[in-house]
Amino acid sequence: MLHCYWVVSVHSHQPAEPNSQPTQINYLTQIKPLLAEKCYSCHGTLKQESELRLETVELMRTGGDSGPAIKPGNPADSLLLQRISSRDDDQMPPHGEGSPLKPDQVKLLEKWIAEGCNAPAEVVPVEPADHWAFQKLVLSKRQTEKPGNPIDLLLKQKRSEAGIQTAPPASRQTLIRRLYLDLIGLPPTQSQLNDNRVIAEIIDELLNSPQHGERWARHWMDIWRYSDWYGLGEQLRNSQKHLWHWRNWIIASLNKDKGYDQMIVEMLAGDEADPESIESITGTGFLARNYYLFNRTTWLDSTIEHTSKAFLGLTMNCAKCHDHKYDPITQRDYYRLRAIFEPHQVRLDPLPDETDFDKAGLPRVFDDDINRVTYLHQRGDPESPDKTQPMTPGVPAILASFEQEIRPIKLPPSAHSPGTRPYVLASHLAKAREQIKASEKKRIEAETRRNELSSKAVANSSQDIENFEFQDDFTTLDTTKWQLTGDGWKHRTGTLSQTKSTREPQTAKLLIEPPQDFDLRCNYTTTGGNTYKSVTIRFDQTENSGYANYVYTSAHAPAPKVQAAFERDNQSVYPPEGRKSFAVTVGQPHELRFAIRGTLVNIWIDGAFIIAYQYPNRRNGFLSLSGFDATVDFDSIQIESLSKDTQLRQANEKTATTVNEAEQAVKIADSHHKATIAHERMLRSMLHSVEADQLQQLSVADRQELAEIAGQRQAEWKLALLKYEATVNASDQKKLTLITEKLKQTEKHIAQIKESPIRFTPIKGSFKALESPADKEDQYPATYSHISTGRRLAFANWVTSDQNPLTARVAVNHVWMRHFGQPLVDSTFDFGLRSPEPVHKDLLDLLAAEFINSGWSFRHLHRLIVSSQTYGLGASTATASPDNLTKDPNNEFLWRMNSRRMESQVIRDSVLFLAGELDTTMGGPSINPGPEARRRSIYFKHSRDQKNSFLEMFDNADILQCYRRSESIVPQQALALSNSRLSIEMSNQIAKKLHQQVKSPKAQDFIHATFALILARPPSDLETEVCEQYFAQMKELEQVSSDDQIRSRFVQAILNHNDFITIR
């Protein structure tokens, strides 16, 4: 396997000329990779075991503690060969640290030594501590006071040293377009393109625009792995519900130019840094995003990997199972870092006016179990923890010189007991008051019902009721009453039979329409059928309306049942609450009865009540009998008006039918009502107490008393609840005994606290995400640890220390890449030993120092970069000197601007913006990513399961890892940009707008206006000619009916122009 490390270290050297002897072994391709794979991890710069290093031939000849490793020309005397061939204890690699070399590999080495250890000149890899990226930044202010942008000063000098000419600047309009797209992610309008102010003013305006935050938030969301929650149905499995709060936090933080150091502190430890600041806590959405229901180790692995890659440019993840092979990071370092994050969990904190966490909540992290121990997982296997040695939290040893002390943090009540926040109690109180109203209504209903039943002796049947009666026992088949559809119907005396088992319509329609409320009995026998064997009585039907309510029985063998169902718009709905299992049997006569009043239906089968169900609505219409996948004999049917005396059972809950039941129902409703009142009272006094605490106007003693009153109310509420439970379970002696016992205890408790009062226990105000699928949320306590470990804060302070050599370098590299299309350090998330010193390390360091010195201000950094002449250069290579193209074809010296493709979000937003259709509303919950949406793309739901198909075509951010977007070019992009509704509709809009502006019938004028708006430049003569030809050809098409149509298609073509989706 190829070993990246050596590739990098010999990078700048030419490989040796191939030797004329064809058999000679090539050190670089045959020997070095082998040694790298098998030996370097112990005998390389990282470990140097036995003082031996094998990374160059020179080092091998020098050898280590046991002398030289190789003797050129003398394989037998070469220690290296002896040890790799040994099968004894001194075998290399040692047992368990890699498989022994295969015989042909040993032979290869032998031959190479015999040939004299030929090798080209080699560079000795640096000591880890000397690695460029680990060197401290020089933060002293710039010494040279030469006028001009320091970026330009540096690069100009380098270009002139290298003999490379600088390209001419971009045209003003190209530069303005570039600035708009880079800084706010939207193209300039016509008037913005023609803005005459100095460029510096335009830059400031763009940097201060709220859309700047949206543009750059999307970049950081790539790097910080923004993902809305996903799971199965409503089950949360990854990330967090309402994570958009964190997205808004990113936008707002950038717009207020919050320091990057402060942003990092808030993301890693906002809850510890400022436990009472919603803003600070919202930053921890960064960590909440990594939540994974099924596996805590996977969750923490993601946290460690991406925290390290995003902020530090370190691939800590490689040290999970063993010491890092290329970087000075040990497996212990990995688990010490895990210990930093070990205590934290995720929860949703309450937001004002909402108690339902599915509707609203603030995702955040907090230290939950502060005593949880971290062990090193041997070979990365969580099943094999090394329990001999708990890991202490800490940072990688190589960068520990400025490690910050971990100090535990005492949390305020609002943090450890969110249920004591006044606004939380206020919203619970509002809900409790609604519950009181509801329980009171129920109590009144129960009382009314009792009164009705007890006065039932009073006769009341004198009122007129509709008198409908229909009966048929099929002695004859009366075709004035029945209309039969389908060929399966047979009649013989006393029976109407459906003899064909089919799913096609076979109905016996009753030509007399029953009244609205009726009582029906039908006797029939299911005689056979295919799968479902259903016998159906439909009503409320009109012809071809696709509407019906119905009741049916199914004799389907594994699960026979009775079901109330309905059909709307030809779709059948089988509500589970309208279904009961019942042994409907083929060949056995059944009586189905149902009575319907309004939307309430009661169903009886064979004389026994079985279902009460509420239809969603009713209509007038006819009734019919049929079979579905069934053959059936109908023996009789009887339908009459439903008597007002007939008491129907309510759906969902039992309605009392006797005076005793009614009396009991009143008791239950009453005790429930009392409990809701007690609940409201408790919440009210809690609110008094916490408000008093907050205002601090009352004396300490008075405040203590308020808290104790709330404690009293809390006990009284518990008592009221127990009384309610006792009433509900009055007939269950076993339960009642238990409840009575608790009642007694609670009464005793109340008596006690009257003597020596106690404060109330806070209510549960937050919603902790499940630690594993086996957990239930209600098993978690209402309050949390009063102490946070302070580990994450200490870690965050270490990350953002101005002594940390990585953080600023990694960040400015990301920013640079997004302005220039090429980073200064190619591996944006790996600044470790495999990352060679960049060509422009001086530039990187200059930017990093500027960044830190400005208070980690991104706005300052952007301004510095985009005001440079380098940034303002043209991207064209047409007039470039041939020297440039041969010496620096890849533009390493930035002698011109690089052309870049817009990111997917910028493409969509720009298309909408040009059409005047973009809705620039900011913030709020994530929206559905459908084609109708008009908001900026950053607000789309973006998760594994929800993505916008147009954005996906243009290399949308991968939610798992996206330190740098791909810029693929695939045919599906052409299809998306030419065939999507977005593109077609917006082209029509743009064409319409442009035509109104141009006010000229000439194609040429329209062509010019379109180029100006979409490409920010005038067309060349050749381009105008080609476009005019297009107009002429379009006119000749028979499919084209109007000039409007031609203009729309033309605009669409220009939207497909490579220069539109390219930032030049």
Partner 1 sequence: MDTPHMSSTHQQTQPLSALQARRTFLRSATGLGGIALQALLAKDNAASATSSELPPDGRPHFKPRAKNVIWLFMRGGVSHMESFDPKPALTQYAGKSIAETPFADVQSPEKLKKVRVVVVNDANGQQRNKIYPLQVGFKKYGQSGIEVSDWFPHIGSRIDDIAVIRSMWTTDDNHGAQVQFHSGRHMLDPRVPTIGAWVNYGLGTLNENLPQFISMGPRFFDRSDGHYLGPAYDAIKLKVDPKNPLAFAKPEGNVSRAEQKLGFGLVNQLNKISGHEYPSDPALDARIKSYELAFRMQTAVPDVIRFDQETASTRKLYGLDQKQTRAFGEQLLAARRFAENGVRFIQIMHGDGAAGAWDQHSNLKAKHSELAMQVDRPIAGLLQDLKQRGMLDETLVVFATEFGRTPGSQSSNGRDHHPHGFSIWMAGGGIQGGIAHGSTDEIGFHAVETPHYVTDVHATLLHQLGLHAHRLHATGHQRLEQDIGHVIHDILG
Considering the complex, what minimum distance in angstroms separates the CB of residue 777 from partner 1? Answer: 17
990 within 8 A of 917, measured Cβ to Cβ: no
The CA distances from residue 197 to 379, 556, 743, 1019, in Å, are 63, 80, 80, 25
* Opening angle at CA 823, ends 819 and 825, nearest 5: 150
Q: Indicate whether 11 belongs to the interface with partner 1 (CB under 8 A).
A: yes
Which pair of tokens denotes residue 540? 């409320």
Q: Indicate whether 976 belongs to the interface with partner 1 (CB under 8 A).
A: yes
Residues 270-329 that bind partner 1 (CB under 8 A): 294-295, 297-298, 317
- Would you report the helix, strand and coil content of the chain in percent, each value rounded to 5? 45, 15, 40
Q: Indicate whether 559 belongs to the interface with partner 1 (CB under 8 A).
A: no
Q: Which of 552, 602, 548 is nearest to 572 (CA)?
A: 548
Task: Tell me the C-alpha distance between 1007 and 120, whole Å.
Answer: 61
Interacting stretch for partner 1, rule CB under 8 A, among 265-273, 386-394, 744-752, 967-975?
A: 967-975
Strand partners, 379: none
Residues 201-240 that bind partner 1 (CB under 8 A): 232
Rounded to the nearest 10 degrees, how much is the dihedral formed by the CA atoms of 261, 265, 266, 271?
Answer: -160
Q: Indicate whether 971 belongs to the interface with partner 1 (CB under 8 A).
A: yes
Residues 922-941 that bind partner 1 (CB under 8 A): 931
Residues 685-724 that bind partner 1 (CB under 8 A): none
Considering the complex, what minimum distance in angstroms separates the CB of residue 4 from partner 1? Answer: 7
The CA distances from residue 1056 to 160, 603, 899, 984, in Å, are 39, 64, 16, 11
Rounded to the nearest 10 degrees, how much is the dihedral formed by the CA atoms of 975, 979, 981, 987?
Answer: 110
Considering the complex, what minimum distance in angstroms separates the CB of residue 1063 from partner 1? Answer: 12
698 or 984: whose CB is closer to partner 1?
984
Q: Indicate whether 74 belongs to the interface with partner 1 (CB under 8 A).
A: no
Q: Which of 846, 840, 845, 807 is nearest to 823 (CA)?
A: 840
Residues 1020-1049 that bind partner 1 (CB under 8 A): 1020, 1022-1023, 1026-1027, 1030, 1033-1034, 1037, 1039-1040, 1049
863 or 901: whose CB is closer to partner 1?
901
Task: State the sign of the Cα–Cα–Cα–Cα dihedral 588, 589, 591, 592.
Answer: positive
Interface size with partner 1, residues (CB under 8 A): 75
Considering the complex, what minimum distance in angstroms separates the CB of residue 901 from partner 1? Answer: 7
Residues 105-124 that bind partner 1 (CB under 8 A): none
Distance from the Cα of residue 827 to its chain's centroid: 26
Considering the complex, what minimum distance in angstroms separates the CB of residue 168 from partner 1? Answer: 13
Task: State the sign of the Cα–Cα–Cα–Cα dihedral 537, 539, 545, 546.
Answer: negative
Direct distance between the N- and C-terminal alpha carbons of the chain, in angstroms, rounded to an integer: 40
Site string for partner 1, 747-786 (x = CB under 8 A): -------------------------xxx------------
Which pair of tokens denotes residue 621? 């219409």
Which pair of tokens denotes residue 1055? 């939207």
Interacting stretch for partner 1, rule CB under 8 A, among 146-154, 332-340, 652-660, 963-971?
A: 963-971
Task: Sort 788 into a burial class: Cβ within 10 Å, 0-12 / 13-18 / 19+.
Answer: buried
706 or 833: whose CB is closer to partner 1?
833
Q: Residues for the chain: how many in total?
A: 1064
Task: Tell me the C-alpha distance between 1022 and 1029, whole Å.
Answer: 11
Beta-carbon contacts of 857 under 8 Å, excluding residues fewer than 6 positions away, are: 257, 259, 260, 851
2 or 76: whose CB is closer to partner 1?
2
Considering the complex, what minimum distance in angstroms separates the CB of residue 720 from partner 1? Answer: 38
Residues 27-56 that bind partner 1 (CB under 8 A): 29
The CA distances from residue 33 to 164, 420, 471, 568, 667, in Å, are 36, 63, 95, 70, 85
Considering the complex, what minimum distance in angstroms separates the CB of residue 14 from partner 1? Answer: 10
Residues 994-1023 that bind partner 1 (CB under 8 A): 1020, 1022-1023
The letter for the amino acid at 781 is P
Considering the complex, what minimum distance in angstroms separates the CB of residue 254 from partner 1? Answer: 28
Residues 871-930 that bind partner 1 (CB under 8 A): 875-878, 885, 889, 899, 901
The letter for the amino acid at 278 is I
Q: Which of 967, 997, 1000, 1002 binds partner 1 (CB under 8 A)?
A: 967
Put residue 459 in one of left, alpha, beta given phi > 0 → left and psi -120 to 50 → alpha: beta
Residues 659-688 that bind partner 1 (CB under 8 A): none
Residues 806-835 that bind partner 1 (CB under 8 A): 826-827, 830
Considering the complex, what minimum distance in angstroms separates the CB of residue 129 from partner 1? Answer: 24
Considering the complex, what minimum distance in angstroms separates the CB of residue 1008 from partner 1? Answer: 14
835 or 867: whose CB is closer to partner 1?
835
Q: Which of 507, 617, 604, 634 is nearest to 573 (CA)?
A: 617
280 or 827: whose CB is closer to partner 1?
827
773 or 1001: whose CB is closer to partner 1?
773
Considering the complex, what minimum distance in angstroms separates the CB of residue 122 from partner 1? Answer: 15
Site string for partner 1, 942-961 (x = CB under 8 A): --x----x--xx-x--x-xx
Considering the complex, what minimum distance in angstroms separates the CB of residue 287 from partner 1? Answer: 19
869 or 1056: whose CB is closer to partner 1?
1056
